[in-house]
Amino acid sequence: MPTLPVQPAEFHVFDTSLRDGAQQEGLHLSVPDKLKIAGYLDELGVTFIEGGWPGANPNDTEFFKQAAQLGLQRSKLVAFGATRKAGAKASEDALTQALVDAGTDYICIVAKSHDEHVTRALRTTLEENLEMVTDTVQYLRSQGKHVFVDCEHFFDGYRANPEYAIKVVQTAHDAGAEVVVLCDTNGGMLPSWMGEVVEAAAATGANLGIHCHNDTACAVANTIAAVEAGVMHVQGTFNGYGERTGNADLSAVIPNLQLKFGWDVLPAVQLADLTRVAHAIALVAHQPLLGRQPYVGQSSFAHKAGLHASAIKVDENLYQHIDPALVGNDMRMLISDMAGRANIQIKGEQLGFDLADREQAASITEVVKAREAEGYSYESADASFEMLLRQQLGMLDLPFEVHSWRVFTEERHGENISEATVKLTAKDVRQMVVGEGNGPVNALDGALRAALIPAFPHVADFELTDYRVRILDEGYGTDATVRTLIDTSFDGHTWTTVGVGTNVIEASWEALSDALAYGIMTHLRH
């Protein structure tokens, strides 16, 4: 076991989702979005929330105006900007003044620390760049602000001209920066390269921070390596949002520090909110959260392989690196053609069935494998699996009996109209309903619901939230087998059913009628 690093006396988690995260392609955050995310981050209790660049665009300027009303309880708000322009004075620089006007106690400014960036991008001298750092930090300090300095391109700069890169850190520290942040702006570093550079910067006496981008897929690993080398401030974004390939993902950095190093980063009750917060931010950002995102993804603790499940039956932790509850996530057992008896037994138990009998569990496993070979996918259709299980256990009591259904599509006055007829019995009453729709599945859905509503009125509130069709044997064109998956929601619960057939309407009917049957059995039986 390696020696674990000791937590610095003062340690900061600095979230830049609202600033660097918003630099991600395809991600746009309105002022209300930013306020909402700031609220979530405050609930979690990150030390700092970087809200954006006031003065750079009206959205960010307005955010800081409105953020004053947020009443943050745990986190402190930070305004981001840059060192003043070359050849000017910080006290007369419009963007520096906008930083002061943002009204936050904390300001983070970006400074050039790579000599070539100073001479070629800023088109000024190395000395003037140092003067820009000193002048801006001192001016902001004179305005009563706490100042952090992000040293842009620090690691590449250190490789090109170590003496100058370190001089920028020293200058920021001497001018009064409370933390000097070493930035891997182009994200090209590897973990084993971090320690030596961080230790060289530490010789300045500055409190150091780290800001990593993910271009080598090492942003989290590089952040942890920098922490091991002694930084006391880590910057990152939730879900790893950020310019290009993103930033270090705080939803991984935080639990790594807390659960692997044993550091006290967040109170346990807040850490147990990590998954909820990561998902809430993803929802506001309109970015679907990757299922396999470490710690907080829906697959992070999902188990598919039969051999894994057989060990998990003995002890969940045999195939999990942590208890998922620590980060507010759950263990999930997946049912597929890779399942063994144990998957079926664990999933069955989670659904409230006793499947301790080995023979019975083995026989259900065989049925699942055979159905998966036909094209069914129970991994993504939890409700269909439960119905199959009930059927195999002789416990499937369907709430209605379908006698027949049919659907056809015709062109009527230049419009395509589908008409469906459904005959069924529900609560001992026979119904025959004809429904129209703008497609055959829509017409069937309408007719089926209309036939069920007299017996189960709340069926009208079942919402078909997603309908997916996939061709399974692509070589056979219109003869191919298709799988349809339907998501249905009611009263905050969503369930998925699957149908398979060579006829897309038949496959859809199976998924549709099972969706309504499952919803009634689960929610409306009585």
Write out the residues near ligand PYR by the rule CB under 6 A: 20, 110, 150, 152, 183, 185, 211, 213
Nearer to ligand PYR, 20 or 131 (CB): 20
The rounded Cα 252 to chain-centroid distance in angstroms is 11
* Contacted by 112, from ligand PYR, ligand ACO, none: CB < 5 to 8 Å by type: ligand ACO
Q: Sign of torsion, CA 322 494 442 398?
A: positive
Q: Which is nearer to ligand ACO, 122 or 290 (CB)?
A: 122
Radius of gyration of the chain (CA): 29
Helix/strand/coil for 362: helix
Which does residue 346 bind out of ligand PYR, ligand ACO, none, counting CB within 5 to 8 angstroms by kind? none
Choose between 152 and 386: whose C-beta lies nearer to ligand ACO: 152
3-state helix, strand, coil in the chain (%, to 5): 45, 20, 35
Taking residue 238's Cβ as centre, other Cβ atoms within 10 Å add up to: 30
Closest approach of ligand PYR to the CB of residue 510, in Å: 51
85 binds, among ligand ACO, ligand PYR, none (CB under 5 to 8 A by kind): ligand ACO
Cβ 152 to ligand PYR, closest distance in Å?
Answer: 4
Q: Which is nearer to ligand PYR, 185 or 207 (CB)?
A: 185
Q: How far is the CB of 230 from ligand PYR (least distance, A)?
A: 20
Residues lying near ligand ACO in the complex (CB under 6 A): 20, 53, 56-57, 82-83, 85, 110-112, 121-122, 152, 185, 243
Q: What is the 3-state secondary structure (H, E, C) of 252-269?
A: HHHHHHHHHCCCCCCCHH
- Evaluated on CA atoms 105, 48, 175, 130, the torsion sign reads negative
E-strand ranges in 83-207 read: 106-112, 146-152, 179-184
CA distance 301 to 283: 21
> CB under 5 to 8 A by kind: which of ligand PYR, ligand ACO, none does 111 bind?
ligand ACO
Return the HEC string of 106-128. EEEEEEECCHHHHHHHCCCCHHH
Partner touching 447 among ligand ACO, ligand PYR, none, CB below 5 to 8 Å by kind: none
Q: Which of 187, 128, 123, 125 is nearest to 152 (CA)?
A: 187
Look up residue 193 and give its amino acid: W
The pair of three-digit structure tokens given for residue 67, joined into one six-digit string: 């953020």
Query: How many CB atoms within 10 Å of residue 288?
Result: 8
CB of 249 to ligand PYR, least distance (A): 15
Q: Which does 347 bind (CB under 5 to 8 A by kind): ligand PYR, ligand ACO, none?
A: none
Euclidean distance between CA atoms 141 and 153, whole angstroms: 24
Rounded Cα gap, residues 504 and 484, in angstroms: 8
Q: Which is nearer to ligand ACO, 138 or 310 (CB)?
A: 138
User: Binds 121, which of ligand ACO, ligand PYR, none (CB < 5 to 8 A, cut-off by type)?
Assistant: ligand ACO
Using the minimum distance from each CB to ligand ACO, give the nearer residue, 168 or 451: 168
Tokens of 491: 């009263």
Pick from ligand PYR, ligand ACO, none: which does 211 bind, CB < 5 to 8 A by kind? ligand PYR
- The one-letter amino acid code at 208 reads L
CB-side exposure of 42: number of CA atoms within 13 Å? 17
Residue 88 beta carbon to ligand PYR: minimum distance, rounded to whole angstroms: 21
C-beta nearest to ligand PYR: residue: 183
Of the two residues 99 and 512, which places its CB atom closer to ligand PYR in the complex?
Answer: 99
* Between 52 and 446, CB nearer to ligand ACO: 52
- Comparing every residue's Cβ against ligand ACO, the nearest one is 56
- Shorter beta-carbon distance to ligand ACO: residue 83 or 300: 83
426 binds, among ligand ACO, ligand PYR, none (CB under 5 to 8 A by kind): none
Nearest partner of 172 among 158, 156, 152, 189, judged by Cα: 152
